[in-house]
Structure 1
Amino acid sequence: MGRCVFLFLLLQTLQTLAEDGQLLCVCEGSGCLNSPQCEGSQCYSSVAVSSHGAVVTRGCLQGSEKTRLICSTASSLSHALLCCSSFMCNRNATASSLLPLLTTAPEEEPVRYRVETLALFVLGPVVILTLLSVLSVLGCRRLHHGRLQRLQEFDPEQDAIDGLITSVGDSTLAELLDHSCTSGSGSGLPFLVQRTVARQISLMECVGKGRYGEVWRGQWQGENVAVKIFSSRDERSWFRETEIYNTVLLRHENILGFMASDMTSRNSSTQLWLITHYHDNGSLYDYLQRVPVETGEGLAMATSVACGLVHLHTEIFGTEGKPAIAHRDLKSKNILVTKELRCCIADLGLAVTHSQSDNQLDVGNNPKVGTKRYMAPEVLDESIQTDCFDAYKRVDIWAFGLVLWEIASRTYSNGIVEEYKPPFYDQVPNDPSFEDMRKVVCVEQQRPFIPNRWFSDPTLSALVKLMKECWYQNPSARLTALRIKKTLNKIHSSLEKGKKS
């Protein structure tokens, strides 16, 4: 995880430098403060010749006025300077490449003065930046002093985190999560607590396998938790899902409760763990295969999925806000059923985020594109606008329509219910290819089969109309998650009125 976080931070740094008009340069010399690189508006390379030989110095220049002054300094008998304006452009500068620039200085021109001036302008910004950095660190340490002090008291042998909570051993997961939510540390536990909890979990039984790895039922202090163990080749999915789950304000009753993430070594191999709430009913896919549902139960399940999707798609503004998130792999296998027969959305490894403040679209670095059976037409025919966040939300709406169809197909009406079948079960093979789905959805523009019995039931008939509005070939014509949620609430109100009358 350390390598991934480093690369992620490096990419963010390069992007920030590019946006600010800054260059990354090689830094070599007394003013570099043991850092091989520096940031500035221009890079420079200089050579100074003395009785001891030629000394090459490389670094950054900051500020247009100072840059023009220094770079316009003429070469002399003992000193030459070369400025450049591209990424790491001074990395190949050597004494042999700079010595030809030396010229004979006029007798009255004091070379010593120009060298001192250069040193002043090179070292001055470095000293100022150093002081600012020190002040920033001291400020952050003071701001977070209480929290850092508590975390430093962590003792892995005693399984305690003094100050953060009275005692990990005496706290339930709900109490730990409540504390983390009120402390503003994201949707999961603080990172140090995550590692503590992760390393105290006992794996009890494997409850599922997929392309990413395995899901186990684990126990922590007698409480059941779900442990998703990623294979080592899926490190990017694990990192992305961890990153998304740690988003501030993500926690919601219809989003799977995230607790911890850890990279651990077991049985002499590295394992990537993602620890979440455990739900005995399993996924919606598993539940619908086992149990048909009453109309009210089916509506409640569909509404809870819509509520989770609304929360994902909605950006919350403010300094402690939340970006808008599109799932990109919504399906019944990625939705879990709680003991109250409500649903929560899981598996955020392919999620895309967007913030209006900087119009930043973050698609992550995971090349997987989702599940073929649930892919929208624009994904299958590759016409999706990959630089438009709304396009990803509309893909989620298409998939939600298919999930709604799955729930409706297992909902009783007049005592009748179908056996569970996946969407397009009668039109494509069990494991459809990309081309199978493209032919059915894009070329033939087919949709899942709607049984006649649904139209004789007012609730199912209303759901049919709703799901069809999620399946428009034109993505921009599809409903929003918020409109779906409001429509489902109206259908539920009509059902309740019908029962009373």
Structure 2
Amino acid sequence: MTLGIFRRGLLMLLVALGLTRGDLAKPSKLVNCTCENPHCKRPICQGAWCTVVLVREQGRHPQVYRGCGSLNEELCLGRPTEFVNHHCCYKSFCNHNVSLMLEATQTPSKEPEVDLPLILGPVLALLVLVALGALGLWRVRRRQEKQRGLHSDLGESSLILKTSEQGDSMLGDFLDSDCTTGSGSGLPFLVQRTVARQVALVECVGKGRYGEVWRGLWHGESVAVKIFSSRDEQSWFRETEIYNTVLLRHDNILGFIASDMTSRNSSTQLWLITHYHEHGSLYDFLQRQTLEPQLALRLAVSAACGLAHLHVEIFGTQGKPAIAHRDLKSRNVLVKSNLQCCIADLGLAVMHSQSSDYLDIGNNPRVGTKRYMAPEVLDEQIRTDCFESYKWTDIWAFGLVLWEIARRTVINGTVEDYRPPFYDMVPNDPSFEDMKKVVCVDQQTPTIPNRLTADPVLSGLAQMMRECWYPNPSARLTALRIKKSLQKLSHNPEKSKVIH
């Protein structure tokens, strides 16, 4: 009897904490759900259904937990008990705005029997969470004290945002590696929700097919808020998933702060909050700015460093899988205040781990930007089961970004206006068939200006572009080779060549 009571209490606790998710079973059809409980690793989860659980203990306020379920569907039909009421639904995010009322059952004729295992399970779990919270707060304060003496020594390579006029950066304190999630990529989940709900939107700084980008303020600091449209939910989900599960913190990858689903103007908005860079995208920067050869090289080297970090797999408990971007272009590369680049927009990214040989493609139907598609993508010959194939398409696109940079570089007093790749071969908004004819049938690549040969830096960039555009994908340079060659070019431009 006691064993049966304990099993029932344990199962109820699992439901309350949202642990009966897809990792316990493999449901045939998954839905996305709001995840709000102490065990959530991100603001959304996937399961066979969505759950809302209301738990009340004597002398405490009721607690509402939201999550996903994949096992024991009969619990969805169970009646309320003295400690818990629960609700299940079967559409994406159907548990986001559900409220539950607890109807406590009473036993009027005798003293209620105390099911100790049923009570002690949730109580012990809450005590552990309180202890962990206190430990986390102590570590945050300890790191804040250390950071006051370190800010003057930390440059662009640190994880800390610029110090605000009012004092030390609050986001910097939160983003220190000791108090981030296990991924080291963003804020702890509960802090993410706090930050997201305290951000004030100031101005819209960009629009695209995904939605809008706003400059926001959080305690006096500028942050970027990417607001996804409802039709691009999969991109928001994918970026949130990648940022929350892998170690992406790097100078040349856009810094992630938080992800949240919030209600504004009677509608649900999907937010991704990142560092803010006032120069905007490389595409915008090149429209306004001509470049000296050394600045062109600085932009190219930093972008290559970001791509190489994405592509490499880091092994170990604090490692990361290899990642291919799949939508690399000048609009998805941002220019920082120190005139280095960082790579953004991971909504189409693909992940791969050698140890498990697992290729995670996601389920976003978008396939990238047609103007930047490699020939094997346009003629639909890409091996979708091979991770290297996706890295090779990134290299093709990186060569096009180098071409955009090179055109805007001043050599002997001459420079060209900004133009997108293939501007003289396809319409402004080319179709898939337009690009396929030019790239696959005619085997065209952008024209490299002859004037680039007059400068050793630009001559090296021109050679690199050609080796990014080989029709045979496996013959193209790797991101690591591009990075090393560009770094060598910056140290000794007269003698440097692209090394195989």
Normalising by the residue count of structure 2, what TM-score does the alignment of the two structures yield?
A: 0.69
- For residues 238-294 of structure 1, what are the alpha-carbon distances to aligned partners after superposition, in whole Å with 9 as ceiling and x for unaligned? 010111111332110000000000000011111100000000100000000100111
Aligned to 2:25: 13
User: What is the CA-CA distance between 1:345 and the residue it aligns to?
Assistant: 0.1
**Correspondences of 1:421-500 after superposition (within 5 Å):** 421-495=419-493
Aligned to 2:33: none
**1:492 partner letter:** S
User: For 1:193 and 1:400, how far apart are their aligned partners in 2?
Assistant: 35
CA contact (8 A) 2:140 2:179 kept: no
User: For 1:497 and 1:388, how far apart are their aligned partners in 2?
Assistant: 36
Question: Equivalent of 1:345, from 343, 349, 371?
Answer: 343
Aligned to 1:284: 282
Aligned to 1:35: 72
User: For 1:255 and 1:410, how far apart are their aligned partners in 2?
Assistant: 23
User: For 2:174 and 2:141, how far apart are their aligned partners in 1?
Assistant: 8
User: What is the CA-CA distance between 1:164 and the residue it aligns to?
Assistant: 4.3
Aligned to 2:418: 420
User: For 1:178 and 1:150, how far apart are their aligned partners in 2?
Assistant: 15
- For residues 409-452 of structure 1, what are the alpha-carbon distances to aligned partners after superposition, in whole Å with 9 as ceiling and x for unaligned? 11111111110000000000000000000000000000001111
Aligned to 1:267: 265
User: What is the CA-CA distance between 1:319 and the residue it aligns to?
Assistant: 2.4
- For residues 332-380 of structure 1, what are the alpha-carbon distances to aligned partners after superposition, in whole Å with 9 as ceiling and x for unaligned? 0000000110000000000000011110000011010000000000000
User: What is the CA-CA distance between 1:150 and the residue it aligns to?
Assistant: 5.8
Task: Provide the secondary structure at the position in 2 that maps to 1:306.
Answer: helix
CA contact (8 A) 2:174 2:180 kept: no
Aligned to 2:371: 373
- For residues 192-244 of structure 1, what are the alpha-carbon distances to aligned partners after superposition, in whole Å with 9 as ceiling and x for unaligned? 00010011111000000000100000000010000000011211110101111
User: What is the CA-CA distance between 1:149 and the residue it aligns to?
Assistant: 4.4
User: For 2:494 and 2:129, how far apart are their aligned partners in 1?
Assistant: 51
CA contact (8 A) 1:180 1:189 kept: no
User: For 1:330 and 1:7, how far apart are their aligned partners in 2?
Assistant: 36
Query: Which stretch of structure 1 is more off in the superposition, 196-205 or 456-465?
Result: 456-465
CA contact (8 A) 2:261 2:270 kept: yes
CA contact (8 A) 1:181 1:187 kept: no
Q: How many residues were matched structurally?
A: 373
Question: Equivalent of 1:147, from 117, 120, 132?
Answer: 132
User: For 2:183 and 2:315, how far apart are their aligned partners in 1?
Assistant: 17
Structure 1 unaligned regions, length at least 5: 1-5, 17-23, 25-33, 39-130, 152-160
- For residues 307-349 of structure 1, what are the alpha-carbon distances to aligned partners after superposition, in whole Å with 9 as ceiling and x for unaligned? 0011100111112321100000000000000011000000000
User: For 2:445 and 2:305, how far apart are their aligned partners in 1?
Assistant: 24
- For residues 138-180 of structure 1, what are the alpha-carbon distances to aligned partners after superposition, in whole Å with 9 as ceiling and x for unaligned? 99989876434467xxxxxxxxx7864589x975212211145
Question: Equivalent of 1:236, from 234, 237, 244?
Answer: 234
User: For 1:283 and 1:396, how far apart are their aligned partners in 2?
Assistant: 18
Residues 150, 288 of structure 1: CA spacing in aligned structure 2 closer, same or farther, 3 A cutoff? same
User: What is the CA-CA distance between 1:35 and the residue it aligns to?
Assistant: 2.5
User: For 2:272 and 2:419, how far apart are their aligned partners in 1?
Assistant: 30
**2:289 partner letter:** V
User: For 2:175 and 2:452, how far apart are their aligned partners in 1?
Assistant: 42
User: For 1:7 and 1:474, how far apart are their aligned partners in 2?
Assistant: 47
**1:147 partner letter:** L
CA contact (8 A) 1:180 1:188 kept: no
Residues 380, 324 of structure 1: CA spacing in aligned structure 2 closer, same or farther, 3 A cutoff? same
User: What is the CA-CA distance between 1:494 and the residue it aligns to?
Assistant: 1.8
**Correspondences of 1:112-261 after superposition (within 5 Å):** 146-149=131-134, 164-165=140-141, 171-179=169-177, 184-261=182-259
Identity over aligned residues, as a percent?
67
**1:345 partner letter:** I
Aligned to 1:325: 323
Residues 411, 181 of structure 1: CA spacing in aligned structure 2 closer, same or farther, 3 A cutoff? farther
User: For 2:267 and 2:126, how far apart are their aligned partners in 1?
Assistant: 36
Q: Which has the higher helix share?
A: 1
User: For 2:250 and 2:376, how far apart are their aligned partners in 1?
Assistant: 30
Residues 139, 437 of structure 1: CA spacing in aligned structure 2 closer, same or farther, 3 A cutoff? farther
**2:439 partner letter:** V
Query: Which stretch of structure 1 is more off in the superposition, 489-498 or 350-359?
Result: 489-498
CA contact (8 A) 1:147 1:164 kept: no
CA contact (8 A) 1:338 1:344 kept: yes
CA contact (8 A) 2:253 2:343 kept: yes
Residues 496, 276 of structure 1: CA spacing in aligned structure 2 closer, same or farther, 3 A cutoff? farther
1:293 aligns with 2:330: no
User: What is the CA-CA distance between 1:462 and the residue it aligns to?
Assistant: 1.3
User: For 2:20 and 2:294, how far apart are their aligned partners in 1?
Assistant: 46
User: What is the CA-CA distance between 1:15 and the residue it aligns to?
Assistant: 8.2
Aligned-CA RMSD value:
3.1
Residues 9, 235 of structure 1: CA spacing in aligned structure 2 closer, same or farther, 3 A cutoff? farther
**1:364 partner letter:** G
**2:132 partner letter:** R
